[in-house]
Structure 1
Amino acid sequence: MINSYRFIFLSLLFFGCAQLSREDQLQAECETNRRNGYLYMIPILQRHTTSGATETNSLVWVGNTEIGYRKCSSEAKKNQWNLRSN
């Protein structure tokens, strides 16, 4: 009886702690890249431009950042069922 409880406890512990896919890790990296893109690049683009059109540069950067974020999120979702290979 005690062995069956021990087996159930260890099984629950293993499956509770095991991270079978890297989806969460990849999604966190996507969020970090997006946040850093807005935090650091927008002020730089507003100050330093080659053409003088700061609004256009910022708008293009925001568009590119969002497209990159969506592609990154899509790749993270595709990786949902892939097992980790540590």
Structure 2
Amino acid sequence: MGIESLIVFLIVGAIAGWLAGLIVKGYGFGLLGNIVVGIIGALIAGWLLPQLGFSLGTGIMSAIVNSVIGAVILLVVIKLVKQA
């Protein structure tokens, strides 16, 4: 992985984590936390969405949307576990 790919990966993770934090109220983790949430969200959505038969295509916008979907799923699961 080149340095450019790593920078894009981190930026997409940060944007996705930030957007997911806005969607799921009460979750703001700062820059580093948003990057981690976004990257984990991308992994979740990258596995789950093809299993369900969804494909968002390629490109940066689809990567952000994909990551946001996964990050929202992650934050909702965290919220449910904390309430239990």
Q: Structure 1-normalised TM-score?
A: 0.33
Q: Structure 2-normalised TM-score?
A: 0.34
- Structure showing greater Rg: 1
